[in-house]
Chains A and B, each alone.
Chain A
Amino acid sequence: MADPGFSSTKRDPIKSSVGNAAGIRRREHAVTVGKERRESLVRAKRLCRVGISDVEVDVESDMMIDEEQSILESQTSLAVQNLKSALAYQGKGAMQKRVGALQKLRRLLSRSEFPPVESAVKAGAVAILAQCLSFGSPDEQLLEAAWCLTNIAAGNPEETKALLPALPLLIAHLGEKSSSPVAEQCAWALGNVAGDDEELRNVLLIQGALIPLARMMLPYRRSTVRTAAWALSNLIKGPNPKAANELICVDGVLDAIVRHLTKADDESATEVAWVVVYLSALSNIATSMLVKSDVLQLLVNRLATSNSLQLMIPVLRSLGNLIAGDSHATYTVLSPGLAVTDNAIQVMIKCLKSEQRVLKKEAAWVLSNIAAGSVEHKQLIYSSEAVPLLLHLLSAAPFDIRKEVAYILGNLCVAPTKGDEKSSLILEHLVSLVEKGCLPGFIDLVRSADIEAARLGLQFIELVLRGMPNGKGPKLVEQEDGIEAMERFQFHENEDLRTMANSLVDKYFGEDYGLDEL
């Protein structure tokens, strides 16, 4: 559930006398019905194909063989049986035998795009593998067992659930006493477990996976940091904010985030940035701590210097969440006049210019929240080269981007308000944006099927009607077929929109309007 203290009202300024605007729309709605989108990267679950440590050298038997799925399945059942008997065997070379059996199973599970997870689970692999994870076992055995479990956990949700008995041991091996390859492999397995099911995430949290995973993010070892960060990003993704709240309070985590964002390679920084995405989306405490650290500055720098889409997405999203989540971000860190603020606006412009739709949309969202800041923020954006870009996007971009852009332009035209006051206009911005032709874009939104967009469009029309000098507003709105657009709501089932549209038409185009002109 959403953190109740989290209903920030940052985006509120575009509010009108006829109705209240949307509050800020946080990136992570507490409830999502859409597909989780992490863009161009299968993030939630990862199959482990190639070993993470140098233990694995057995290359030639790892060759991909195009076998029939059914053969693969029967081989897997057999491999599990072999492992069982290897485990029962207590004689000379028992250890070798066990590792050999594990490797055989692991290879079968790593071989194809669709590993025979179901057969392995049916054959009872999980219990046996859990047994292989018992304390005091040699690293090689632990590693192989964890690897097998990693790939089993990458299966469908039901198969992932089968891992339940193995979880306490996987978590136990995350500790400092384990060798880092073992710990890392266990983290990987746990990351898969946490991938797509809230119930399993809760089990992991209750069993104490969070703190050891968090500690793995502290050292410098690249691959460990990467895997741990990825697993953590899965583990804390909620919707309950409790895990995110806990993570940020673990000693050293904040420093580690700052350090990795400063120095880490793109790949590791990407994983760390995803952790920041969820921290900032879900946790008030985390957001406020992150904002007070150097993170905003670092995120801006990363955006400025990188061209990796995979990195830019979580970085941009984190930036947006932080700005939306804590007014300190806009009013203190990104205050007008500071170099970082100019840089932030520059990187947003860079993203708006990008070919990548997702970057455009995210950047517009970030800017809309900065545009909800002080009058000086609005002036800064207004005088930047963002405006021509935004005007173009408002008329030519796909719907979702147009809607975000409309929030920015709308926010540029109203001064911040306190409480329930009527919003006052920034006339200069309104007049110039209208003269540059933004009104048709807003009226198009009124006609769209999306009711939030329609509301935004109506609110902007209200500004134009009320604010344009010399009573030009009504003429402009009429000329762009705005009356017709508003009349669509005459009998709309959304009461708020209906009242808003009808009262605007009545007020500005009622009988009196006719009398003067007619």
Chain B
Amino acid sequence: MEWNPQTRQFLSDCFLHTLSPAPEPRRRAESSLSEASNLPNFGLAVLRLVAEPPNSIDEQIRQSAAVNFKNHLRLRWSSEDNPILEPEKQQIKTLIVPLMLSAPSKIQSQLSEALAIIGNHDFPKSWPTLLPELVSSLQEASQSSDYVKVNGILGTANSIFRKFRFQYKTNDLLLDLKYCLDNFTAPLLEIFLKTASLIDSAAATVPPPPAANLQPLFESQKLCCRIFYSLNFQELPEFFEDHMKEWMSEFRKYLTTSYPSLEGSGPDGLALVDELRSAVCENINLYMEKNEEEFQGYLNDFALAVWTLLVNVSQSTSRDQLAITAIKFLTTVSTSVHHALFAADGVIPQICQGIVIPNVRLRDDDEELFEMNHIEYIRRDMEGSDLDTRRRIACELLKGIATHYGDAVRNIASAQIQSLLSSFASNPTANWKDKDCAIYLVVSLSTKKAGTSYVSTDLVDVQSFFQSVIVPELQSSDVNGYPMLKAGALKFFTMFRSQISKHVALQFLPDLVRFLTAESNVVHSYAASCIEKLLSVKDEGGRLRYSSADIAPIFAMLMNNLFNAFKLPESEENQYVMKCIMRVLGVADVQLDVARICIEGLGSLLSEVCKNPKNPVFNHYLFESVAILVKRASERDPSLVSVFETSLFPRLEIILSNDVTEFFPYTFQLLALLVELNRPPIPPIYMQIFEILLSPDSWKRTSNVPALVRLLQAFLQKAPNEISQGDRLTKVLGIFDTLIQSSSSSEQGFYVLNTVIESLPYEVITPYISHIWAAIFRELQKRRTVKLLKSLLIFISLFLVKHGWSNVIDTMNAVQPNIFSVILTQFWIPNLKLITGDIELKLTTVASTRLICESPVLLDPAASVSWGKMVDSIVTLLSRKEQDRVEDEGDMPDIAENVGYTATFVRLYNAGRNEEDPLPDIKDPRKYFVASLSQLCAHSPGRFPNVITENVETANQEALLQLCNTYNVALV
């Protein structure tokens, strides 16, 4: 693409149309641009358009071109596919810096990002002119005090230096860093100090200059601080160590000085100064963590400064980010070797009162979040995603101080809790937040104990706190009064569920059920969660503490309230309620009539979510609930299977016919469960589903494959006769053949084949055997991955134990003469040691043992080497630990197999298949092996010990001897 008036016109028109509200011209422009983007020099042409003078091209067009330019670079700068060519790159690199610096701010920010993209790939080695250019422009801009430019340059430097914050320390990275340090540290300090003095003199001016004059200066300092962080991240550079004093005295100034003219100019002004202070806190926190020895001299001053600052900041609601970074700094100090700063008299109480409590107290925005966005509130409050909230960080500070001053913290915190509670008692209506604060402190400062979910605290006595503080809330007759206090009480109950004794907990279970009807989403979610967690508490020995009898009295009301909770606004897909239903159905004793109601309730929810699957967690628990209901209720009362089928089939059919692909894996798993619960013959409707199963389209999505295999196995086991009819088996084996051709699904293919071998009579399989072998040998020619070899050995073994060694050998050799001995010596013997899993180990051991003890092919004296090697391999398999004999191989994901939307396969825990043991009569494979071997030896005494001595490794000979001793047999 050549830059000429036509190009200019073309691009300018296109970008104008991309802004059009009418879809037609917009789409046309977008597709013209996307087509043009394949031409060489497209990027350059767009950049030139951006560079056109404002009076000739509208700024809107240039802005949209700048966005396009940035995206173009992101896609093409170093892609494999049609990348920007070197000469074009060179020209772009030459143009971009001056252009970025002179552009209006919106275009500047786009170009700065574009520059950062180039920098990520090319800086510094392939772009040696960039840094010198930035430095000299910085000096020029600084001399003329042009802070638009200064900040543009600093912003760019900040983005190209960011990589030092997260890449591993390698020599290459350090070389780059050294280059940046050598060139940039001195100019950086210079501009930082210059701006600092401008700020100082502005602060001293009366009347103060307008906020707009100060704003770019603070912006600039903030950028300098961020760059400081990047350049200091890997290790402390010499330059910064030598100039620590200059940096630190300015840093301290920003923490201790207030700038009323800017801070008072509106929320943005205060936010900007606070951003600078936060950046300073991050820097000193970094020094405190990593260079505390060099930083030591400044520590006292900074600790005092941060502390004083925090006492002010903690009173205000809108300064969260600063409060958080500042508290983090104090936390770092408290856990460091310099923790003695906190040892002085009165420090800890002051921190507790002045910093921790004010930050833990509920604020208006917490209340707002509680009401307006319960999902986010729960995520932060209950699920630990509150790492960066001031409530949590304040508690972290207390925990930090407690690492060295545990007793002091405990005393002060429990005194605080008591005083908060008595303040609440004096006036519950006005001071309810004090109680919330007390509960929050107890919960947040508790520690988890070893074992499952045992949480403990030494701040209060859990039992009496529960009785005196929590129970009044639980028993409150108005489920909608003071919802935040209710939520806190429910959270306490949930957290300390293991310590609340069973009879106490059961006493309040009806109250929990009552709170399921609360209007507040957080409250009914917490109630559901609390019930759900209570029902999973395990006592010593892993027994569940609560049984069906415990919930029987309230069961009807519980289910009723749970299902009704979905009718409350914004809880239509409440995952906590759904999970609770799953848990209850897993514990309760579900009678016929209840089962009918439940499956209808779940079924209609299913119909609803099929229309637009939104919340994957809710959906998952919904399917789990269905699965556990179907499984438990049908096992108790087999007549229910048809009830479930009637309710579920229409819904599952909708999923399949409307192509709700997210739910396919769940659907196939549920169907498999239903097939298995049926007694043969299975209802004809299933054979319709079986046809879907055989269609190659179903198998195209990798996420479906495990569930489909699971379903196919269920069919093969429950309906072998139906499958033997027509061309169904041909189709099943066709699926096997397709699956083994991709390494990601080859195991699944063998699962299908193994089920065929296990479930169908031999006569039915006979006509297909040679094709099966041919397919397997073909794969062996292509690749010999561990997975394939293992699958092969397991299949041969299963075949052998089911249908005898002669069938195995004969059918193989029918494909190609003598191929059995090739397979035996090249694949079976050397790879037997790779087998893992108890059932698999037993199966292959038994098969291998039968082969050497029964088949004339191996008993032929001419085959004695193979015979001996096989013994060697079996001994290896049986005597060594899995991890000593098996090497993992890296899995190569087969991306080409993923078609379209990638739903992922999620296993339904409650629809799981029971592993079948093909050899239930043999308990101990080791015993079976040595006993068989000893019998064989007894038939021809003296023959086999020699073969063993000659062919079995010394270590394995000893292991074999040990095995014989263990089972008290001898090899003669």
**Residue B533 at the A interface, CB < 8 A?**
yes
User: Given A31-B174, A34-B241, does the pair A398, B337 have CB atoms closer than 8 Å?
Assistant: yes
**Residue B935 at the A interface, CB < 8 A?**
no
The residue from B233, B234, B452, B888 contacting A422, defined by CB atoms under 8 A apart: B888
Distance (Å) between the CB of A18 and the closest chain B CB?
Answer: 13
Which residues 448-483 of A have a CB within 8 angstroms of B? 448-452, 455, 475-476, 478-479, 481, 483
Interface string of A370-405 (1 = CB under 8 A from B): 000000000000000000000000001111100000
**Residue A177 at the B interface, CB < 8 A?**
no
Residue of B nearest to A31 (CB): B174
Residue of A nearest to B171 (CB): A30
- CB pair A494–B167 under 8 Å, yes or no, is yes
Residue of A nearest to B185 (CB): A33
Distance (Å) between the CB of A45 and the closest chain B CB?
Answer: 16
User: Given A398-B292, A449-B289, does the pair A34, B909 have CB atoms closer than 8 Å?
Assistant: no
Residues of B within 8 A of A397 (CB): 337
**Residue B636 at the A interface, CB < 8 A?**
no
Residues of B within 8 A of A67 (CB): none
Residues of B within 8 A of A396 (CB): 337
The residue from A34, A357, A496 contacting B237, defined by CB atoms under 8 A apart: A34
**Residue B181 at the A interface, CB < 8 A?**
yes
Distance (Å) between the CB of B409 and the closest chain A CB?
Answer: 17
**Residue A60 at the B interface, CB < 8 A?**
no
User: Given A34-B238, A398-B293, does the pair A487, B384 have CB atoms closer than 8 Å?
Assistant: yes
- CB pair B452–A475 under 8 Å, yes or no, is yes
Contact stretch, chosen from A47-55, A243-251, A510-518:
A510-518
Q: How many angstroms between the C-alpha atoms of A278 and B181 in the bound complex?
A: 25
- CB pair A29–B171 under 8 Å, yes or no, is yes
Q: How many angstroms between the C-alpha atoms of A34 and B235 in the bound complex?
A: 7
- CB pair B165–A511 under 8 Å, yes or no, is no
Which residues 426-450 of B have a CB within 8 angstroms of A? 448-450
- CB pair A494–B168 under 8 Å, yes or no, is yes
- CB pair B451–A475 under 8 Å, yes or no, is yes
- CB pair B888–A33 under 8 Å, yes or no, is no
The residue from B177, B336, B385, B583 contacting A33, defined by CB atoms under 8 A apart: B177
- CB pair A493–B292 under 8 Å, yes or no, is no
- CB pair A493–B165 under 8 Å, yes or no, is yes
**Residue B372 at the A interface, CB < 8 A?**
no
**Residue A58 at the B interface, CB < 8 A?**
no
The residue from A448, A483, A515 contacting B289, defined by CB atoms under 8 A apart: A448
Residues of B within 8 A of A484 (CB): 384, 387
Q: How many angstroms between the C-alpha atoms of A488 and B286 in the bound complex?
A: 17
- CB pair A34–B236 under 8 Å, yes or no, is yes
Residue of A nearest to B234 (CB): A33
Interface bracket on B: 35 or more
**Residue A428 at the B interface, CB < 8 A?**
no
The residue from A33, A35, A400, A511 contacting B178, defined by CB atoms under 8 A apart: A33
Residue of B nearest to A444 (CB): B335
Distance (Å) between the CB of A20 and the closest chain B CB?
Answer: 10
Interface string of A388-428 (1 = CB under 8 A from B): 00000000111110000000000000000000011010000
**Residue B620 at the A interface, CB < 8 A?**
yes
- CB pair A452–B169 under 8 Å, yes or no, is yes
- CB pair A476–B450 under 8 Å, yes or no, is yes
Q: How many angstroms between the C-alpha atoms of A73 and B406 in the bound complex?
A: 62
- CB pair A32–B174 under 8 Å, yes or no, is yes
**Residue B906 at the A interface, CB < 8 A?**
yes
- CB pair B909–A515 under 8 Å, yes or no, is yes
- CB pair B233–A488 under 8 Å, yes or no, is no
Residue of A nearest to B169 (CB): A452
Residue from A31, A398, A422, A424 having most chain B Cβ neighbours under 10 A: A31
Residue from B178, B233, B290, B536 having most chain A Cβ neighbours under 10 A: B290
Q: How many angstroms between the C-alpha atoms of A17 and B536 in the bound complex?
A: 32
Q: How many angstroms between the C-alpha atoms of A444 and B335 in the bound complex?
A: 10
- CB pair B579–A518 under 8 Å, yes or no, is yes
Distance (Å) between the CB of B692 and the closest chain A CB?
Answer: 27
**Residue A2 at the B interface, CB < 8 A?**
yes
Residue of A nearest to B887 (CB): A421
Residue of B nearest to A450 (CB): B290
Q: How many angstroms between the C-alpha atoms of A33 and B236 in the bound complex?
A: 7
**Residue A492 at the B interface, CB < 8 A?**
yes
- CB pair A518–B533 under 8 Å, yes or no, is yes
Residue of A nearest to B172 (CB): A31
**Residue B883 at the A interface, CB < 8 A?**
yes
User: Given A399-B292, A449-B233, A518-B533, does the pair A35, B336 have CB atoms closer than 8 Å?
Assistant: no
- CB pair A31–B178 under 8 Å, yes or no, is yes
Interface string of B228-253 (1 = CB under 8 A from A): 00000111111001100000000000
**Residue B166 at the A interface, CB < 8 A?**
yes
Interface string of B770-799 (1 = CB under 8 A from A): 000000000000000000000000000000
Which residues 4-61 of A have a CB within 8 angstroms of B? 17, 22, 29-36
Distance (Å) between the CB of B386 and the closest chain A CB?
Answer: 10
Residues of A within 8 A of B166 (CB): 451, 492-494
User: Given A484-B387, A512-B909, does the pair A33, B181 have CB atoms closer than 8 Å?
Assistant: yes
Q: How many angstroms between the C-alpha atoms of A224 and B883 in the bound complex?
A: 60
- CB pair B235–A451 under 8 Å, yes or no, is no
- CB pair A518–B168 under 8 Å, yes or no, is no
Residues of A within 8 A of B165 (CB): 493
User: Given A450-B290, A496-B168, does the pair A518, B583 have CB atoms closer than 8 Å?
Assistant: yes
Q: How many angstroms between the C-alpha atoms of A494 and B241 in the bound complex?
A: 27
Residues of A within 8 A of B579 (CB): 518
Residues of A within 8 A of B335 (CB): 444
**Residue B71 at the A interface, CB < 8 A?**
no
Residue of A nearest to B338 (CB): A398
Q: How many angstroms between the C-alpha atoms of A398 and B299 in the bound complex?
A: 15
Q: How many angstroms between the C-alpha atoms of A492 and B168 in the bound complex?
A: 13
Q: How many angstroms between the C-alpha atoms of A31 and B168 in the bound complex?
A: 14
Residues of B within 8 A of A494 (CB): 166-168
**Residue B747 at the A interface, CB < 8 A?**
no
Residues of A within 8 A of B452 (CB): 475, 517
Q: How many angstroms between the C-alpha atoms of A101 and B175 in the bound complex?
A: 48
Q: How many angstroms between the C-alpha atoms of A446 and B887 in the bound complex?
A: 29
Distance (Å) between the CB of B789 and the closest chain A CB?
Answer: 19
- CB pair B237–A33 under 8 Å, yes or no, is yes
Residues of B within 8 A of A22 (CB): 168
Interface string of B319-337 (1 = CB under 8 A from A): 0000000000000000111
The residue from A31, A399, A422, A488 contacting B290, defined by CB atoms under 8 A apart: A399
**Residue B453 at the A interface, CB < 8 A?**
yes
Q: How many angstroms between the C-alpha atoms of A35 and B291 in the bound complex?
A: 12
- CB pair A511–B906 under 8 Å, yes or no, is yes
Distance (Å) between the CB of A402 and the closest chain B CB?
Answer: 10
User: Given A478-B448, A511-B906, does the pair A33, B235 have CB atoms closer than 8 Å?
Assistant: yes
**Residue B573 at the A interface, CB < 8 A?**
no
Residues of A within 8 A of B289 (CB): 399, 448-450
Q: How many angstroms between the C-alpha atoms of A397 and B234 in the bound complex?
A: 20
Distance (Å) between the CB of A458 and the closest chain B CB?
Answer: 13
**Residue B219 at the A interface, CB < 8 A?**
no
Distance (Å) between the CB of A213 and the closest chain B CB?
Answer: 27
Residues of A within 8 A of B293 (CB): 357, 398
Residue of A nearest to B292 (CB): A398
Q: How many angstroms between the C-alpha atoms of A415 and B579 in the bound complex?
A: 43
- CB pair B168–A33 under 8 Å, yes or no, is no
**Residue B532 at the A interface, CB < 8 A?**
yes
Q: List 17 A-B contacts (CB under 8 A).
A: A31-B171, A32-B174, A35-B241, A397-B337, A398-B292, A399-B290, A421-B887, A422-B888, A450-B290, A475-B451, A484-B384, A487-B387, A494-B168, A511-B906, A511-B909, A517-B538, A518-B536
List the interface of chain B (C-beta within 8 A of A). 162, 165-169, 171, 174-175, 177-178, 181, 233-238, 241-242, 285-286, 289-290, 292-293, 335-337, 384-385, 387, 448-453, 532-533, 536, 538, 579, 583, 620, 883, 887-888, 906-907, 909
Q: 13 additional contacts, CB 8 Å, given A31-B175, A34-B241, A511-B620? A: A33-B174, A33-B178, A34-B237, A399-B290, A399-B292, A449-B286, A450-B289, A452-B168, A475-B452, A494-B167, A494-B168, A517-B452, A517-B453
